Chain A
């Protein structure tokens, strides 16, 4: 079992969520976060160009069995990568995906443990 944590642009949330549902991955947790990345975000505030110290992003957390890791990751990448450039190569600020091993998973209702609880 793995825990997939993805930090994406908040504008891409709908696209990613729809793509995941399309790929049959329907159990996710979403939160609004902010932080530093490689992105040098500038924005206009009251007519002045300012560099915000923290950039708002959206965080997805998805616990999956090992066989689902690839499809989940590929789906997120495809939907979250910005296609503002011609090649569709993405731009700085599209986000990151972290995969961590998941020690245990328990369904509270039944006390089931392990991969069947995911």
Chain B
């Protein structure tokens, strides 16, 4: 049975499949300590990405906003975890309710019914749930890069709570739950191995909508708004790269061949993305910047996220190169259009995610296509899969964009999201946290 479902492991569905009937199946599986150990490691690695993101974003803003920006990531670790345990896991991995808009399973509320569950792959369900929960934390934290340096903390918290419940959870359910409609689109589902649509496209597009809705930072683009600490950004970028092995290779929910394939593709794409960003920037501006290098790393990693389970290293490298080229162009375009996606949440995550989710089609392993063809008794062509990928991307863009717009209006009209001019000038650190990031530079 493991052999037959091998492809499904690749697509995350394996456990979601059992999630609905897990109460009955609870005692039937023995723990596979190898798989469990790797999944525990992966869970930890994905958690490490969030402080990594905090450092990456934190270094890119001005001194007066460094703590406020890092808090956007850290606070997400608190609030999204609590939400995930209370209702998030149930909404994502329960069975279809409300016409399949979300899932629901009373056993998953406060994770009360999974205490002794062991999934079919030999991994305790707690591990799977915690692993998935980390994705629910990092996604809203990514959005914060689009409206950095200009939102009030209270409004931000309310926004990510609503966004997590109404945007992330439904999308996650559609793409990764066994009965989600995108999981079942076409022959063998829309391919989203580790979160190209669910995480990166949804966060990127929501970020773009929010950046435009909230307007530019005071003084942008006339005043120079420069990073306060690129060293911290580099460290953060490094942590993200390392953590991404958990993000992608952990998404096989196993410890075996598919894990190795995903891990290799991840490294290949990150390196190719970084190298090509350096070359493009070197040719275009004469110097290869450190920030450019880590941006290329991220572009490559984002693009390979949906693809890691189905492409070989050569294809992954191509995706990395393509993502760097397209993201670089988009950032130039942003500067022309003058909207203030401050830390390029859309430029890197949105665009990189779209490039990866669509172009992975051309590099799918032969065996995956054969399997897909077998599932629909007959032919399944690349063009048909391309259609599935494009529809999944469009659905994610439209859903995340529209819902985010509505949430922005609601939050802005009630608690308020945009900082007042005086708080923005004084800085988020002083205005919302009463602290300074670099107090040690002063005599006391």
Which A residues contact B (CB, under 8 angstroms)?
10-12, 14-15, 18, 32-35, 43-44, 52-54, 56
Q: Is the CB of A54 within 8 A of B430?
A: no
Residues B66-83 near A (CB distance < 8 A): none
Which of B64, B436, B444 has the most chain A CB within a 10 Å cutoff? B444
Which of A15, A18, A34, A44 meets B443, CB within 8 Å? A34
Q: Shortest CB–CB separation between residue B403 and chain A, in angstroms?
A: 35
Which B residues contact A (CB, under 8 angstroms)?
64, 219, 425-427, 430, 434, 436, 439, 441-444
Q: Is the CB of A32 within 8 A of B427?
A: no
Q: A52-B444, A56-B439 are in contact. Are A44 and B425 (CB under 8 A)?
A: no
Give every chain A residue within 8 A of B219 (Cβ-Cβ): 14, 18
Q: How far apart are the CA atoms of A18 and B436 in the complex, in Å?
A: 22
Number of A-B contacts (CB under 8 A): 29
Q: Is the CB of B444 within 8 A of A32?
A: no
Q: How far apart are the CA atoms of A68 and B311 in the complex, in Å?
A: 68
Q: Shortest CB–CB separation between residue A103 and chain B, in angstroms?
A: 29
Q: Is the CB of A43 within 8 A of B434?
A: yes
Q: Is the CB of A34 within 8 A of B444?
A: yes
Q: How far apart are the CA atoms of A52 and B442 in the complex, in Å?
A: 12
Which of A14, A15, A44, A54 has the most chain B CB within a 10 Å cutoff? A14
> Which residue of chain B is the closest to A11 with respect to CB atoms?
B426
Q: How far apart are the CA atoms of A34 and B444 in the complex, in Å?
A: 8
9 shortest A-B CB distances, which residue pairs? A11-B426, A54-B444, A34-B442, A56-B442, A34-B443, A14-B425, A54-B443, A11-B430, A53-B444
Give every chain A residue within 8 A of B425 (Cβ-Cβ): 11, 14-15
* 8 A-B pairs in the complex with CB atoms less than 8 angstroms apart: A11-B430, A14-B425, A15-B425, A18-B219, A32-B441, A34-B443, A34-B444, A43-B434
Give every chain B residue within 8 A of A12 (Cβ-Cβ): 426
Q: How far apart are the CA atoms of A14 and B62 in the complex, in Å?
A: 12
Q: How far apart are the CA atoms of A56 and B427 in the complex, in Å?
A: 15
Extra contacts besides A11-B425, A33-B442 (20): CB < 8 Å:
A10-B64, A11-B64, A11-B426, A11-B427, A11-B430, A12-B426, A14-B425, A15-B425, A18-B219, A32-B441, A32-B442, A34-B442, A34-B444, A35-B443, A44-B434, A52-B444, A54-B442, A54-B443, A56-B442, A56-B444
> Which residue of chain B is the closest to A17 with respect to CB atoms?
B223
Q: Is the CB of B430 within 8 A of A56?
A: no
Give every chain B residue within 8 A of A44 (Cβ-Cβ): 434
Q: How far apart are the CA atoms of A52 and B443 in the complex, in Å?
A: 11
Q: How far apart are the CA atoms of A54 and B442 in the complex, in Å?
A: 9
Q: Is the CB of B436 within 8 A of A56?
A: yes
Q: Shortest CB–CB separation between residue A65 and chain B, in angstroms?
A: 27
Give every chain A residue within 8 A of B64 (Cβ-Cβ): 10-11
Q: Shortest CB–CB separation between residue A28 and chain B, in angstroms?
A: 15
Q: Shortest CB–CB separation between residue A47 and chain B, in angstroms?
A: 12
Q: How far apart are the CA atoms of A12 and B430 in the complex, in Å?
A: 12
Q: How far apart are the CA atoms of A42 and B307 in the complex, in Å?
A: 54
Give every chain B residue within 8 A of A15 (Cβ-Cβ): 425
Give every chain A residue within 8 A of B439 (Cβ-Cβ): 56
Give every chain B residue within 8 A of A56 (Cβ-Cβ): 436, 439, 442, 444
Q: Shortest CB–CB separation between residue B405 and chain A, in angstroms?
A: 30
Give every chain B residue within 8 A of A18 (Cβ-Cβ): 219
Q: Shortest CB–CB separation between residue B429 and chain A, in angstroms?
A: 10
> Which residue of chain A is the closest to B427 with respect to CB atoms?
A11
Q: How far apart are the CA atoms of A50 and B423 in the complex, in Å?
A: 24
Q: Shortest CB–CB separation between residue A81 and chain B, in angstroms?
A: 13
> Which residue of chain A is the closest to B424 with respect to CB atoms?
A14
Give every chain B residue within 8 A of A11 (Cβ-Cβ): 64, 425-427, 430
Q: How far apart are the CA atoms of A26 and B387 in the complex, in Å?
A: 57
Q: Shortest CB–CB separation between residue B437 and chain A, in angstroms?
A: 12
Give every chain A residue within 8 A of B442 (Cβ-Cβ): 32-34, 54, 56
Give every chain B residue within 8 A of A52 (Cβ-Cβ): 444
Q: Shortest CB–CB separation between residue A46 and chain B, in angstroms?
A: 11
Q: Shortest CB–CB separation between residue A89 and chain B, in angstroms?
A: 17
Q: How far apart are the CA atoms of A58 and B107 in the complex, in Å?
A: 57
Give every chain A residue within 8 A of B441 (Cβ-Cβ): 32
Q: Shortest CB–CB separation between residue A88 and chain B, in angstroms?
A: 13
Q: Shortest CB–CB separation between residue A3 and chain B, in angstroms?
A: 23
Q: How far apart are the CA atoms of A33 and B444 in the complex, in Å?
A: 10
Q: Shortest CB–CB separation between residue A15 and chain B, in angstroms?
A: 6
Which of A11, A15, A18, A52 has the most chain B CB within a 10 Å cutoff? A11
Q: How far apart are the CA atoms of A34 and B441 in the complex, in Å?
A: 10
